[in-house]
């Protein structure tokens, strides 16, 4: 009996202690028993932008991780209590961030820290302090702000590609690595470590482990809008060189599809397309100010000889800008008039099947019938002036 009473007393004491403890936690008005408070040191890029959300699938950011107060977790310990509901999760997040920071092949190759961030599909390095955000340099973006803007741009392209190609998680093979350097020396050092050959302009590796690298080349890639357009354009090439099976179709009979898609995703995001396709940054040439609808329509209505037979066999790097505009338009038509077909075309082109055969099989038309259908659609949908499509392609649910 005595023993039972003692046991009861112990239980009572423990319960009282427990109640007192939880009351103490619940009564911490400072953190609402979370144990942590939001870190207020994230001003350049707001803390909310560091966290994953629809359209912004962020994973890690080295600028945020450099925060002395929170180490990138975005939370600091509550000074008025010891522990709360969120304390363990924040500690675990801190551990993951440290591990991410300490395991970068790029940093190992260069032997130094590189400002960078990682999202669902991209590893982006922006080794540039700040950049003009417009041609007249009235506003500047910090490297950190630019990196976050790039994540949003690139993940937008990725979402469009995923919609057009009905991507599933199993279709992706690698993360896209995209780097931007202040000096040509750093660009070349990175390139030497990951490619073996050197270029003065931008370079990219397509296929199995895509990499894109470029430096702040005066006059070419020296403003944030130029970098954003360049990255969006190349993200399309990289993603689709890597997806399904890691084979770039640009030089095995799918140049027309590859050139078309690179311009399409850049154009869709920015309302114009000004980039070229392959290491020819220094040859970058303007065609119709990057707004192509009226020019393409006028050309197709004036020149009656079919274009497709000449376009289909070329490699991506062999097209002139006016030819790329035609490839872009043909891709535009494929997406609008035959939703879902680009996945089938891409899969077969990666198997090195001839373009004419693949098109005939999946669209049920020979090259000349295709050309007629594409031209009719262009006349019905592109304006003769300006650049607004007459009717938006129907959105599929």
Residues in touch with Zn ion (CB under 5 A) = 28, 30-31, 39, 41, 45, 50, 61, 63-64, 67, 69-70, 78, 80-81, 262, 277
Residue nearer to Zn ion on the CB measure, 186 or 266: 266
Helix H, strand E, coil C: the string for 134-173 is CCCCCCEEEHHHHHHHHHHHHHHHHHHHHHHCCCCHHHCC
Please report where in the chains the tokens 């600028």 appear, as a residue.
Answer: 63
Residue 296 and residue 300: Cα distance in Å, rounded? 6
The CB-of-383 to Zn ion minimum distance in angstroms stands at: 24
Instruction: Enumerate the β-bridge partners of residue 176.
Output: 122
CA distances from 225 to 41, 140, 185, 381 (A): 27, 11, 23, 28
Residue nearer to Zn ion on the CB measure, 47 or 132: 47
144 with 156: CB under 8 angstroms?
no
The CB-of-77 to Zn ion minimum distance in angstroms stands at: 8
Nearest to 69 by CA among 37, 92, 46, 100: 37
The CB-of-42 to Zn ion minimum distance in angstroms stands at: 6
Please give the sequence-ordered ranges of beta strands (E in DSSP) within the chain, or none if there are none: 36-38, 58-61, 75-77, 116-119, 122-127, 130-132, 140-142, 176-181, 203-205, 211-215
Residue nearer to Zn ion on the CB measure, 132 or 317: 317
Q: Rounded to 10 degrees, what is the CA torsion of 317, 349, 194, 199?
A: 0
The CB-of-202 to Zn ion minimum distance in angstroms stands at: 11
Residue nearer to Zn ion on the CB measure, 125 or 375: 125
CA distances from 40 to 8, 69, 144 (A): 48, 9, 17
The CB-of-195 to Zn ion minimum distance in angstroms stands at: 19
Residue nearer to Zn ion on the CB measure, 154 or 375: 154
The CB-of-39 to Zn ion minimum distance in angstroms stands at: 3
The CB-of-277 to Zn ion minimum distance in angstroms stands at: 3
The CB-of-276 to Zn ion minimum distance in angstroms stands at: 7
Identify the DSSP state of 85. Answer: T
Nearest to 176 by CA among 197, 199, 150: 150
Residue nearer to Zn ion on the CB measure, 187 or 260: 260
Residue 3 and residue 250: Cα distance in Å, rounded? 84
Q: Write the CB contacts of 231 (distance below 8 Å, at least 6 apart in sequence).
A: 150, 153, 154, 178, 180, 212
For the chain, state the CA radius of gyration.
27
Residue nearer to Zn ion on the CB measure, 81 or 124: 81
| The two three-digit tokens of residue 153, written as one number | 């741009």
Residue 118 and residue 307: Cα distance in Å, rounded? 42
Please report where in the chains the tokens 């997806």 appear, as a residue.
Answer: 243
The CB-of-376 to Zn ion minimum distance in angstroms stands at: 27
The CB-of-92 to Zn ion minimum distance in angstroms stands at: 17
Residue nearer to Zn ion on the CB measure, 50 or 155: 50
Residue nearer to Zn ion on the CB measure, 250 or 382: 250
The angle at the Cα of 99, spanning 94 to 105, to the nearest 5 degrees, equals: 145
Residue nearer to Zn ion on the CB measure, 151 or 375: 151
């Amino acid at each position: 009996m005595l023993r039972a009473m003692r046991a009861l007393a112990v239980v009572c004491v423990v319960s009282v202690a427990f109640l007192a403890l939880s009351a103490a936690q619940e009564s911490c008005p400072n953190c609402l028993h979370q144990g942590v408070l939001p870190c207020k040191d994230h001003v350049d890029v707001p803390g909310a932008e560091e966290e994953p959300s629809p359209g912004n699938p962020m994973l890690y950011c080295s600028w945020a991780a450099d925060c002395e107060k929170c180490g990138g977790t975005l939370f600091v310990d509550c000074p008025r209590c010891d522990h709360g509901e969120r304390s363990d999760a924040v500690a675990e997040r801190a551990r993951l961030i440290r591990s991410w920071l300490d395991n970068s092949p790029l940093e190992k190759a260069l032997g130094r820290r590189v400002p960078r961030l990682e999202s669902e599909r991209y590893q982006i390095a922006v080794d540039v302090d700040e950049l003009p955000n417009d041609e007249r340099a009235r506003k500047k973006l910090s490297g950190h702000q630019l990196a976050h803007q790039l994540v949003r741009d690139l993940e937008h392209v990725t979402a469009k590609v995923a919609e057009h190609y009905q991507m599933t998680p199993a279709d992706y093979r690698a993360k896209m690595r995209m780097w931007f350097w202040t000096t040509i020396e750093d660009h070349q050092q990175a390139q030497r470590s990951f490619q073996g050959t050197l270029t003065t302009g931008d370079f990219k590796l397509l296929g199995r482990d895509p990499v894109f690298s470029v430096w702040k080349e005066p006059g070419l890639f020296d403003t944030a809008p130029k970098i954003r357009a360049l990255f969006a354009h190349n993200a399309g090439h990289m993603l689709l060189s890597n997806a399904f099976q890691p084979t770039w179709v640009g030089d095995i009979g799918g140049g027309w599809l590859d050139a078309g898609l690179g311009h399409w995703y850049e154009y869709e995001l920015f309302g114009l397309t000004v980039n070229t396709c392959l290491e020819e940054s220094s040859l970058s040439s303007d065609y119709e100010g990057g707004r192509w609808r009226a020019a393409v329509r006028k050309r197709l209505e004036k020149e009656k000889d079919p274009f497709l037979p000449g376009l289909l066999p070329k490699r991506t790097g062999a097209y002139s800008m006016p030819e790329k505009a035609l490839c872009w338009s043909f891709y535009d038509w494929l997406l609008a008039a035959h939703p879902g077909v680009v996945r089938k075309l891409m899969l077969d082109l990666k198997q090195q099947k001839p373009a004419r055969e693949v098109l005939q099989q999946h669209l049920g038309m020979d090259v000349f019938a295709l050309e007629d259908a594409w031209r009719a659609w262009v006349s019905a949908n592109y304006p003769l002036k300006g650049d607004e499509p007459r009717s938006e392609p129907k959105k599929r649910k």
